[in-house]
């Protein structure tokens, strides 16, 4: 079990080739080194930006290559969590 006071980098924005995204739109907040999520050493708390719960549909996204009427790719995260819980 890890240290609950330790902060670990866990997610970064990425380009389609897997390299770190450093510019908009693939790094929408301009975070250094593409940082988008951190977690505690024990994994009990994770903070993330963007907030996937706010962009379940493409219409809510600041940029999308998909149809505005469609579900956003972020919705998959919640569907996967549901499958895992069930």
SS3 79: helix
Cα separation, 60 vs 72, in Å, equals 9
Token digits for 36? 């988008």
CA atoms lying within 13 Å on the CB side of residue 65: 2
| Sign of the torsion formed by the C-alpha atoms of 31, 26, 13 and 18 | negative
Going by pLDDT thresholds of 50, 70 and 90, the confidence category of residue 31 is: very high
What integer is the mean pLDDT of 53-77?
A: 89
Over residues 53-62, mean pLDDT: 87
Look at residue 82 and tell me whether its pLDDT is greater than 70: yes
């Amino acid at each position: 079990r890890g240290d609950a006071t330790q902060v670990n980098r866990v997610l970064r924005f990425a380009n389609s080739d897997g390299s770190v995204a450093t510019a908009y739109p693939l790094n929408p907040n301009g975070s250094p080194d593409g940082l988008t999520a951190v977690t505690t050493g024990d994994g009990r708390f994770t903070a993330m930006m963007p907030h996937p719960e706010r962009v379940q549909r493409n219409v809510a996204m600041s940029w999308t290559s998909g149809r505005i009427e469609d579900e956003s790719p972020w919705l998959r995260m919640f569907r996967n969590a549901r499958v895992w819980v069930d």
